[in-house]
Amino acid sequence: MNAIEDLPEIDYNSTEYQAAPLATLARFAGRSKLGRSTRGVEIFDYELCREAIIDRRLGTGHPKLMKVLGLPEGQALDYKRNSISFHDRGETRRRLRKPLVHLMGPDQSERFRRDIRHVVERTIHAVPTDEPVDFIANICDPIPSGVYCYWINADMEDAKFVSRTSHIVQQVHTRDPERTRQIVDGFNALLDYVDKRIDEARRNPGNYLLSELIRVTDSGALSEDELRNWVVKLAEANTDNSSHQIGIAIAELASRPDVWARLGDDPALVPQAMREVMRFHPRSLSTSRETLEDIVLDGCNLPKGTAVFPNIGAAHWNPRYYPNPEVFDIERPDKPPHLNFGGGIFSCIGRFAVTIEIEEAIALMARRFPHLKVERAEFSHSPMFTSVEALEGVLDPA
């Protein structure tokens, strides 16, 4: 039986990781199924990652994250304590998920496609086609924040605030206490904004998502605080993550002219291309868990309260599961499936809508701009996420 101290150690601040994060994770995955880092125990094996994500002995790592940040008492911490992120497996989490699972399941999310397509078309139509463009500011950020505004029946001018605030509050995952004040301010601004949107939606009910959530609340399935928390959560999680994933997709697909041309000619290939993007260069590099009891994982003793990180990047680049993982191949079989959206009771509720957002953006751009050129693409990789730091180019250099 091994102890945590016996596991190989990965240094996320190393030059090696910063230069080639996914290749570095692949090398660790080739050496060991488990590792350790300054944040806790790392899982490098695909099957162990998948099992850990749904393992009932592992709970959410969010409460410990708030302690690491030193989030002070106040409105922001109250929101975090009562949002679904803080709840482990059990009746409360199941009850909170049920209305959203119903409203945002695969079939239900398809009803958003027409309006998502409208947001995508309007966003891209406003972008100059024959001069250098900042894709993040003009495409990646406006699309998901615009979709959120559609969900809450807000003016599309609010999309800039939603996008900016979502990027700020997602810094909770940096685990950097120096950013705590900014994070708190971001949550406070978002909470105040959501309160106003809920008040407006109650005065003017309709067929949009927020109005549907209010009807669910009035039926007794959610409390007023739980309604508010879900509307905040939709902005907190969807907007920032979707923006980065759209940017990753543009960079990876448009930088391969043969693939880009195939997508323009045959939009039916976009879903499988997106699956390979999420496998090859995932937005979520890991997810956090905490042991709810003393457990043994692959022969290693993990005491209760141990921070555990299923490492999605390592799993996706593990050659035991994905032959030649460094090769980008849109014909790669969808087995095993990528782990970007988690699984089980911890799966991402908005995953179907997010997928539609990205598919619609890529399908339109590949069809309309076959010669699109990415001139600058820069990424940063924390232990948790891939972030698109810069993405510039020209839509139609021809």
* pLDDT score recorded for residue 331: 96
CATH topology of domain 4-394: Cytochrome p450 (1.10.630)
320: which residues sit within 8 A by CB, 6+ positions away? 29, 45, 46
Side chain identity, residue 379: F
Distance CA 339, CA 335 (A): 11
Judge whether 268 and 371 are in contact, CB under 8 Å: no
Distance CA 249, CA 239 (A): 15
- CA torsion angle 236 237 239 241 (round to 10): 140
Q: Which of 398, 396, 397, 395 is nearest to 135 (CA)?
A: 395
Per-residue confidence in pLDDT tens, the chain, 398 aa: 789 999 999 999 999 999 999 999 999 999 999 999 999 999 999 999 999 999 989 988 778 888 888 989 999 999 988 888 888 777 888 999 999 999 999 999 999 999 999 999 999 999 999 999 999 999 999 999 999 999 999 999 999 999 999 999 999 888 889 999 999 999 999 999 999 999 999 999 999 999 999 999 999 999 999 999 999 999 987 789 999 999 999 999 999 999 999 999 999 999 999 999 999 999 999 999 999 999 999 999 999 999 999 999 999 999 999 999 999 999 999 889 999 998 888 889 999 999 999 999 999 999 999 999 999 999 999 999 999 999 999 999 87
* pLDDT score recorded for residue 38: 95
* pLDDT score recorded for residue 12: 96
Residue boundaries of the structural domains of the chain: 4-394
Distance CA 201, CA 148 (A): 14
Helices (H), the chain: 15-19, 21-31, 46-54, 62-69, 75-82, 91-103, 106-110, 113-125, 135, 142-151, 159-169, 180-203, 209-218, 224-233, 240-254, 257-265, 270-280, 312-316, 351-368
Predicted TM-score of the model (pTM) = 0.93
350: which residues sit within 8 A by CB, 6+ positions away? 104, 234, 237, 238
Would you state the structure tokens that stand for residue 135, as one six-digit string?
């894709």
Measured at the CA of 365, the angle between CA 360 and CA 367, to 5 degrees, comes to 95
Tokens 């810094």 -> residue? 171
Q: Which of 198, 212, 206, 204 is nearest to 103 (CA)?
A: 212
What's the sign of the alpha-carbon dihedral 349, 344, 287, 289? positive
Residue 43, H or E segment: strand 40-43
Distance CA 316, CA 275 (A): 11
